[in-house]
Amino acid sequence: MQLGRAFVVFVGSSALVLVMSSCGGGGGGGGGGAALPVAAVPATAPPADTPAAPPAAAPPAPTEPAPPAEQPPPATSRVVTDTITSAKTGATYPLDIYLPASYDDSSASYPVIYAMDGDAIFNPPGSRFANFKDILDKRGTQAILVGIGGSARREQDYTLPGARPYHDFLTLELVPFIETRYRADVRKRLLTGLSLSGSMAGIALFLEGAAGNLTFSHFLSFEGAFYYQEAEYQNLEQQMHDALAGGPLPATLILTRCGNPRECNFAPVDGMYMRLLARGYQGLTITELTYSSTHTQTDIPSFTDAVTKLLP
**What secondary structure does DSSP assign to 147-190, as a single string?**
EE--GGGHHHHSSTTTHHHHHHIIIIIIHHHHHTTS-EEEEEEE
CA distances from 49 to 45, 46, 121, 198 (A): 12, 9, 100, 107
The CA R_g of the chain, rounded to the nearest whole Å, is 53
Above pLDDT 70, what percent of the chain?
80
pLDDT digits (tens, 9 = 90+) for 96-115: 999 999 999 999 999 999 99
- What was the pLDDT predicted at 47? 54
C-alpha span between 285 and 199 (Å, rounded): 17
pLDDT tens for 186-226 read 999 999 999 999 999 999 999 999 999 999 999 999 999 99
Nearest of 197, 188, 202, 183 to residue 255 by alpha carbon: 202
CA distance linking residue 33 with residue 96, whole number of Å? 139
Decide if 207 contacts 251 (C-beta within 8 A): no
**In angstroms, how far is the first alpha carbon of the chain from the final one?**
138
**Ordered domains of the chain (ranges, CATH):** 5-42 (no CATH), 78-310 (3.40.50.1820)
pLDDT tens-digit series, residues 236-281: 999 999 999 999 999 999 999 999 999 999 999 999 999 999 999 9
Residues in the chain: 312
Closest to 162 (Cα-Cα) out of 151, 154, 172 = 154
